[in-house]
DNA sequence: ATCGTCACG
DNA sequence: ACGTACGTGACGATT
């Protein structure tokens, strides 16, 4: 439990302060907002700075208080609260409620007394207390546990009163503040005090005697003077004034400290109040993830038919889908806008509308779309081919802000300050509660999305140009989306019978292994449960614990491998894991994804997801089909061409990341090695181990050098390398040291890329893709180290991604130019998989490496290997 | 919803 | 001294 901190605010005093500190502002609807605005900025500041665990705003209750009983002129003659301020009090209450801060007022007592009582209670429980007011009387509450903040001049400028500060400023203790006020009186509260006694005299007297009581005890010894006369004449008034100025700390409150917990505002409610008051700057600055939609009226027309006259040369269109699975879900509706007129139509009316179809298919009719790939794929299913995509909100957002997650139009729009569109969750609900609402609501929602895309197009394109990223977006990502859409819609054929066959074999093997594991363990348990497995291995069988996880023993493969010699059960478990993974993910999982109609899987390539610019693949993930172990690799036998006498043709870049590194750091040795076509791991081994002849490099040396090369690409650390090679950290450090000495250009590059990231806050790839690294200047070692490794890795991984993306675009063009039937089906980070008729193999062998190797020119050559066969397994 | 694990580049 | 290799997605178990 962190230290508790209670913030007590004097509501009336602060409202008055804000009102008089700021000029009389009014908002669009004519309400005065200077007090509400001042109050809000003050709250924002104090909450941000103090981060309290409990909060309360106290208000004065009615007109009369217990003080009036002793002195009926108390606060008499005071100016009436200005009506311009009175009208703002309801909003101040609303604001406080929206912040989820407790409000409190009590009949017969003033805010001061409520605050005094709570401050005393809290301090007694060891809670740190901060009192905020515009009234200096409150400083009497200061103690070691209670600090009193008094606003100065404006509303956010505060003076902090601790007992020390009061001593410094007045030479008095906090308690003596009351006596001072008793003597001086208070104009605003109509407390008379002793006439003729001001601050200076009061302080002088108190320093000498200590308190009002002590002054009167010693009154006779005072030498005769005008002042003595005044004191004598007004003794009663002095005592009364002190009494009135004393804050009551034993108020019979009807609330307790427990009720004051503060855990942040109700963001939606707060946005609502801010909107009502017209606090645009605060709304813009806030990073709340609220669903608040601007109350901008949207004019749109629901039409049964989109007619020719509605179809303009440039329009934003939005095809609304049920969910992200656009290869299998249903479409909900369709909207289009040219900025002036917005039309909504049902899907039935879209699919059968020949005019619209022709317009969508017309390359010269320009479309602005939120997610062009999804739209293209869905339209394809409806028998419509989409062309002429000019703007893609998802891709533009991704290039500008690669870190934003989510593809909802509302989420993206909000990132760029556009809020007149609702989130899908707000409209449809989520999970089991998901439902399509009334047609009117859908029409408005979908129309708003189209308008959002239309409105954001100029904004985002300008930002891209400002960043010099427009080309990356327009010439790379946008055309790539079209190609990826085609690849996904085409799909890859899977032989389900082959998978079933393999599944049966696996099932039999698993049953045997399972039986021997139970036998060796002496009981049945769930081998798939790391928790239960941990109990068997480490508690029951007493194997040594090598690594732990947050929740218990680690049973990961690297741990189990070290335990193999300890017990026979371990190797069975390792084998069980391998086979169970194949069975659940690659046999059963894959079968579920095969579409019955065409016997194909249609993955979705996520183009706006990774931090580095790579693609990712889902439903199913076709970028992690097994290959390293033979048993798993056989899964690839189930991936086949879609037609008889066709083949699968696979081409992959050899060492693309290290070549990119060589290009970027221009290290002579590394560049030379690639230019001469050497085996890079062997070359590295020669340098790291100081061997002058390639023949002298042993396989262990090469394997080690390979791991070092991986480490370099990942942003090396001795620990990481030691883990991957299972050697000591010291040895790993020596390898790295040797490497960096052999390749000084690499070291220089790594140092400068980190320096650059620290300076600009981001790193870039060959095609100017950015990754922002806010943690690079963190004082937290872990965060900073991670950011530094990322700074080293991202330009390499990201540039490699740029290169293969460019190759895909060039390859698509080339296939069309050559009039080939061959189709690009998959991309797996550094390889492209095609299917093609046998007759085209020869030409592919020529053009695929040519196009891929020349996608982007580096100072080192790019090298592409390829192969083909009747299944993906054979294309090796 | 999150964790541990493991498949890929 | 700090505690990690970079980037992903899917599964079963568990909360």
CA atoms of A324 and A332, how far apart (whole Å): 12
Rounded to the nearest integer, the mean pLDDT of chain A is 90
A797 touches strand B (CB under 7 A): yes
Task: Report the SS3 class of residue A324.
Answer: coil
Asked if residue A626 has pLDDT above 60, the reply is yes
More reliable by pLDDT, A410 or A240: A410
A557 touches strand B (CB under 7 A): yes
User: Could you give the C-alpha distances from A693 to A156, A669, A709, A744, A785, in angstroms and in order?
Assistant: 73, 15, 19, 21, 37
| Residue A467 burial by Cβ neighbours in a 10 Å radius (0-12, 13-18, 19+) | middle
Asked if residue A110 has pLDDT above 60, the reply is yes
User: Could you give the C-alpha distances from A732 to A508, A644, A680, A790, in angstroms and in order?
Assistant: 43, 52, 19, 20
What tens digit of pLDDT does each residue of A337-361 get?
999 999 999 999 998 899 999 999 9
Of A871, A294, A338, the closest CA to residue A637 belongs to A871
Give CB contacts under 8 A, 24+ apart, made by A520-524. A520/A567, A520/A568, A520/A569, A520/A572, A521/A569
What integer is the mean pLDDT of A286-306?
73
CA of A530 to C1' of C12 (A): 10
- Protein residue minimizing CA–C1' distance to C1: A781
| Contact call for residues A390 and A367 (beta carbons, < 8 A) | yes
What integer is the mean pLDDT of A538-546?
92
- Protein residue minimizing CA–C1' distance to C9: A621
Tracing tokens 């909060």 back to the chain, one arrives at A55
What integer is the mean pLDDT of A223-234?
75
Cβ atoms within 10 A of the Cβ of A688, count? 24
- Protein residue minimizing CA–C1' distance to C3: A782
* pLDDT score, position A1: 39
| Residue A242 burial by Cβ neighbours in a 10 Å radius (0-12, 13-18, 19+) | buried
Print the SS3 string covering A624-676.
CCCCCCHHHHHHHHHEECCCCCEEEEEEEECCHHHHHHHHHHCCHHHHHHHHC
Q: Which nucleotide is closest to A552, CA to C1'?
A: B4
Cβ atoms within 10 A of the Cβ of A330, count? 12
Give the alpha-carbon dihedral of A241, A247, A251, A253, to 10 degrees. Answer: 140
Q: Which nucleotide is closest to A709, CA to C1'?
A: C5
CATH number belonging to domain A603-667+795-876: 3.30.70.370
Task: Report the SS3 class of residue A836.
Answer: strand
CA of A657 to C1' of B8 (A): 16
Cβ neighbours of residue A143 under 8 Å, at least 6 residues apart? A123, A163, A174
CA of A733 to C1' of C1 (A): 17
* Residue A368, beta-bridge partner list: A316, A391
Q: Categorize the per-residue pLDDT at A154 as very low, low, confident or very high, splitting at 50, 70 and 90.
A: low
Farthest-apart Cα atoms in chain A, separation: 124
A230 touches strand B (CB under 7 A): no
User: Could you give the C-alpha distances from A801 to A222, A280, A767, A806, in angstroms and in order?
Assistant: 91, 41, 10, 9
What ranges do the domains of chain A cover?
Answer: 5-163+247-260, 300-490, 496-598, 603-667+795-876, 678-794
- Protein residue minimizing CA–C1' distance to C13: A529
* pLDDT score, position A23: 76
| Contact call for residues A842 and A849 (beta carbons, < 8 A) | no
A578 touches strand B (CB under 7 A): yes
Give the alpha-carbon dihedral of A714, A719, A720, A721, to 10 degrees. Answer: 90
- Protein residue minimizing CA–C1' distance to B5: A556
A623 touches strand B (CB under 7 A): yes
CA of A735 to C1' of B9 (A): 24
* Residue A149, beta-bridge partner list: A132, A160
DSSP A341-370: -EEEE-HHHHHT-HHHHHHHH-TTSEEEES
Q: Which nucleotide is closest to A657, CA to C1'?
A: B9
What tens digit of pLDDT does each residue of A129-140 get?
999 998 888 898
- Residue A185: CA count within 13 A, CB half-sphere: 19
Q: Which pair of tokens denotes residue A847?
A: 């053009």
What tens digit of pLDDT does each residue of A606-616 get?
999 999 999 99
What integer is the mean pLDDT of A525-538?
92
CA atoms of A579 and A513, how far apart (whole Å): 10
Of A332, A308, A331, the closest CA to residue A383 belongs to A331
Q: Categorize the per-residue pLDDT at A818 as very low, low, confident or very high, splitting at 50, 70 and 90.
A: very high
Write down which residues 431-450 in A have CB closer than 7 A to strand B: 431
Percent residues over pLDDT 90 in chain A: 64
CA atoms of A809 and A830, how far apart (whole Å): 15
Task: Report the SS3 class of residue A501.
Answer: helix
Q: Categorize the per-residue pLDDT at A629 as very low, low, confident or very high, splitting at 50, 70 and 90.
A: very high
Q: Which nucleotide is closest to A800, CA to C1'?
A: B9
- Protein residue minimizing CA–C1' distance to C5: A720
What integer is the mean pLDDT of A363-382?
97
Task: Report the SS3 class of residue A7.
Answer: strand
Lowest mean pLDDT among A12-21, A119-128, A477-486, A826-835: A12-21
CA of A478 to C1' of C9 (A): 24
Task: Report the SS3 class of residue A302.
Answer: strand
Of A425, A458, A420, the closest CA to residue A300 belongs to A420
CA of A830 to C1' of B9 (A): 7
Report H helices in A234-307. 235-245, 267-277, 280-285
What integer is the mean pLDDT of A862-874?
97
More reliable by pLDDT, A125 or A865: A865
User: Could you give the C-alpha distances from A819 to A111, A643, A814, in angstroms and in order?
Assistant: 84, 18, 8
Q: Counting every residue, how long is chain A?
A: 876
Enter the pTM of the model.
Answer: 0.71
What tens digit of pLDDT does each residue of A638-684 get?
999 999 999 999 999 999 999 999 999 999 999 999 999 999 999 99
Q: Which nucleotide is closest to A781, CA to C1'?
A: C2
CA of A510 to C1' of C14 (A): 23
| Contact call for residues A138 and A112 (beta carbons, < 8 A) | yes
* pLDDT score, position A37: 86
CA atoms of A174 and A810, how far apart (whole Å): 79
User: Could you give the C-alpha distances from A720 to A254, A555, A727, A732, A796, in angstroms and in order?
Assistant: 60, 20, 10, 9, 18
CA of A320 to C1' of C9 (A): 26
User: Could you give the C-alpha distances from A104 to A60, A252, A270, A456, A630, in angstroms and in order?
Assistant: 9, 13, 19, 45, 72
Q: Which pair of tokens denotes residue A588?
A: 């059963």
What tens digit of pLDDT does each residue of A714-730 get?
888 898 899 889 899 99
DSSP element (H, E) containing A255: none
A765 touches strand B (CB under 7 A): no
Asked if residue A293 has pLDDT above 60, the reply is no
The CATH number for A678-794, chosen from 1.10.150.20, 3.40.710.10, 1.10.600.10, 1.10.1740.10, is: 1.10.150.20
* pLDDT score, position A596: 93
Q: Categorize the per-residue pLDDT at A187 as very low, low, confident or very high, splitting at 50, 70 and 90.
A: low
Which nucleotides in chain B lie closer than 7 A to a protein CB?
1, 3-9
Which nucleotides in chain C lie closer than 7 A to a protein CB?
1-15
Find the distance separating the first CA and the last CA of chain A, reported in whole Å. 58
Winning range, highest mean pLDDT, from A42-46, A193-197, A562-566? A562-566
CA atoms of A635 and A274, how far apart (whole Å): 58
Q: Categorize the per-residue pLDDT at A291 as very low, low, confident or very high, splitting at 50, 70 and 90.
A: very low
CA atoms of A267 and A414, how far apart (whole Å): 15
The CATH number for A496-598, chosen from 3.30.1300.10, 1.10.3720.10, 1.10.287.3510, 1.20.1060.10, is: 1.20.1060.10
Q: Categorize the per-residue pLDDT at A551 as very low, low, confident or very high, splitting at 50, 70 and 90.
A: confident
Winning range, highest mean pLDDT, from A202-206, A230-234, A245-249, A735-739? A735-739
* Residue A464, beta-bridge partner list: none
CA of A728 to C1' of C3 (A): 15
More reliable by pLDDT, A32 or A295: A32
Question: Is the preceding peptide bond at A363 cis, omega within 30 degrees of 0?
Answer: no
User: Could you give the C-alpha distances from A451 to A342, A436, A595, in angstroms and in order?
Assistant: 8, 21, 35
- Protein residue minimizing CA–C1' distance to B9: A829
* pLDDT score, position A105: 87
A305 touches strand B (CB under 7 A): no
CA of A407 to C1' of C15 (A): 28
| Residue A627 burial by Cβ neighbours in a 10 Å radius (0-12, 13-18, 19+) | middle
A628 touches strand B (CB under 7 A): yes
Cβ neighbours of residue A779 under 8 Å, at least 6 residues apart? none
* pLDDT score, position A284: 67
The CATH number for A5-163+247-260, chosen from 2.60.120.960, 3.30.70.260, 3.40.50.620, 3.40.50.1010, is: 3.40.50.1010
Tracing tokens 């069988």 back to the chain, one arrives at A541
Provide the sign of the torsion angle of the four alpha carbons A47, A50, A55, A58, taken in this order.
Answer: negative
What integer is the mean pLDDT of A732-760?
94
> Regarding beta strands A604-606 and A616-618, do their DSSP bridges make them parallel or antiparallel, or are they unpaired?
antiparallel
CA atoms of A694 and A572, how far apart (whole Å): 40
The CATH number for A300-490, chosen from 3.30.420.10, 3.30.70.270, 3.40.50.620, 3.40.50.300, is: 3.30.420.10
CA atoms of A157 and A167, how far apart (whole Å): 21
CA atoms of A855 and A800, how far apart (whole Å): 11
CA of A552 to C1' of C13 (A): 14
- Protein residue minimizing CA–C1' distance to B6: A581
């Amino acid at each position: 439990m962190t230290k508790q901190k209670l913030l007590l605010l004097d509501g009336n005093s602060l409202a008055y302060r804000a009102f008089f500190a700021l000029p009389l502002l009014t908002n669009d609807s004519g309400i005065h907002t200077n007090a509400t605005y001042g109050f809000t900025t003050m709250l924002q500041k104090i909450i941000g700075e103090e981060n309290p665990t409990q909060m309360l705003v106290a208000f004065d209750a009615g007109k009369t208080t217990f003080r009036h009983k002793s002195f009926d002129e108390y606060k008499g003659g005071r100016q009436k609260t200005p009506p311009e301020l009175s009208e703002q009090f309801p909003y101040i209450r609303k604001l406080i409620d929206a912040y989820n801060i407790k409000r409190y007022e009590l009949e017969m007592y003033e805010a001061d007394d409520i605050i005094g009582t709570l401050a005393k209670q809290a301090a007694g429980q060891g809670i740190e207390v901060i009192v905020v007011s515009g009234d200096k009387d409150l400083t009497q509450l200061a103690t070691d546990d209670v600090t009193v903040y008094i606003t100065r001049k404006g509303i956010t400028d505060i003076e902090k009163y601790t007992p020390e500060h009061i001593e410094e400023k007045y030479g008095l203790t906090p308690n003596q503040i009351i006596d001072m006020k008793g003597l001086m009186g208070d104009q605003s509260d109509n407390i008379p005090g002793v006439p003729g006694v001001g601050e200076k005299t009061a302080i002088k007297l108190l320093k000498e005697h200590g308190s009002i009581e002590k002054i009167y005890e010693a009154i006779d010894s005072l030498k005769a003077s005008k002042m003595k006369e005044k004191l004598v004449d007004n003794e009663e008034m002095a005592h009364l004034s002190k009494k009135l100025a004393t804050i009551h700390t034993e108020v019979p409150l009807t609330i307790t400290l427990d009720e004051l917990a503060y855990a942040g505002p109700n963001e939606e409610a707060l946005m609502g109040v801010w909107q009502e008051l017209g606090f645009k700057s605060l709304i813009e600055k806030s990073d709340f993830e609220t669903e608040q939609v601007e109350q901008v009226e949207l004019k749109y027309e629901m039409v049964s038919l989109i007619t020719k006259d509605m179809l303009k040369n440039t329009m934003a269109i939005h095809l609304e889908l049920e969910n992200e699975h656009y290869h299998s879900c249903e479409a909900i509706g369709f909207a289009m806008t040219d900025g002036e007129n917005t039309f909504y139509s049902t899907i039935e009316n879209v699919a059968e509308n020949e005019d619209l179809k022709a317009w969508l298919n017309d390359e010269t009719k320009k479309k602005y779309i939120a997610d062009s790939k999804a739209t293209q794929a869905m339209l394809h299913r409806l028998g419509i081919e989409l062309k002429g995509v000019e703007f893609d909100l998802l891709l533009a957002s991704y290039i500008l802000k690669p870190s934003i997650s989510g593809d909802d139009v509302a989420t993206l729009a909000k990132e760029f300050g556009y809020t007149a569109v609702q989130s899908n969750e707000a409209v449809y609900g989520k999970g089991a509660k998901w439902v399509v609402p009334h047609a009117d609501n859908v029409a408005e929602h979908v129309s708003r999305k189209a308008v959002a895309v239309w409105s954001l197009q100029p904004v985002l394109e300008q930002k891209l140009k400002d960043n010099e990223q427009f080309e990356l977006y327009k010439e790379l990502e946008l055309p790539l989306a079209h190609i990826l859409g085609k690849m996904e819609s085409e799909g890859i054929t899977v032989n389900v019978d082959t998978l079933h066959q393999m599944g049966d074999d696996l099932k039999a093997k698993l049953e045997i292994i399972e039986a021997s594991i139970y036998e060796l363990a002496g009981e049945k348990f769930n081998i798939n449960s790391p928790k239960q497995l941990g109990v068997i291995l480490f508690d029951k069988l007493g194997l040594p614990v090598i690594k732990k996880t947050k929740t218990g023993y680690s049973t990961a493969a690297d741990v189990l491998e070290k335990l193999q010699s300890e017990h026979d059960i371990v190797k069975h478990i390792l084998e069980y894991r391998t086979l169970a993974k194949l069975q659940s993910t690659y046999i059963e999982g894959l079968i579920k994804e095969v579409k019955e109609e065409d016997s194909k899987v249609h993955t979705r390539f996520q183009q706006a997801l990774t931090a580095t610019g790579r693609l990712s693949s889902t439903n199913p993930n076709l970028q992690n089909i097994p290959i390293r172990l033979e048993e798993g690799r056989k899964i690839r036998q189930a991936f086949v061409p879609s037609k008889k006498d066709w083949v699968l043709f696979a081409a992959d870049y050899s060492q693309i990341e290290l070549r990119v590194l060589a290009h970027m750091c221009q290290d002579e040795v590394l560049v030379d090695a690639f230019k001469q076509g050497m085996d890079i791991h062997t070359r590295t081994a020669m340098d790291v181990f100081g061997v002058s002849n390639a023949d002298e490099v042993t396989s262990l040396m090469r394997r080690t050098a390979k791991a070092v090369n991986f480490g370099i690409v990942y942003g090396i650390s001795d620990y990481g390398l030691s883990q991957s090679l299972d050697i000591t950290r010291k040895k790993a450090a020596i390898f790295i040291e040797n490497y960096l000495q052999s390749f000084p250009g690499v070291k220089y590059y790594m140092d400068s890329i980190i320096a650059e990231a620290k300076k600009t806050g981001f790193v870039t790839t060959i095609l100017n893709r950015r990754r922002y690294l806010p943690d690079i200047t963190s004082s937290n070692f872990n965060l900073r180290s991670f950011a530094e490794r990322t700074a080293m890795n991202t330009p390499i991984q990201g540039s490699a991604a740029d290169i293969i993306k460019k190759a895909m675009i060039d390859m698509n063009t080339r296939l069309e130019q050559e009039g080939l039937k061959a189709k690009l089906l998959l991309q797996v980070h550094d390889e492209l998989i095609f299917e093609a008729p046998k007759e085209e193999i020869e030409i592919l062998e020529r053009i695929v490496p040519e196009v891929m190797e020349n996608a982007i020119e580096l100072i080192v050559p790019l090298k592409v290997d390829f192969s083909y066969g009747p299944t993906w397994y054979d294309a090796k």
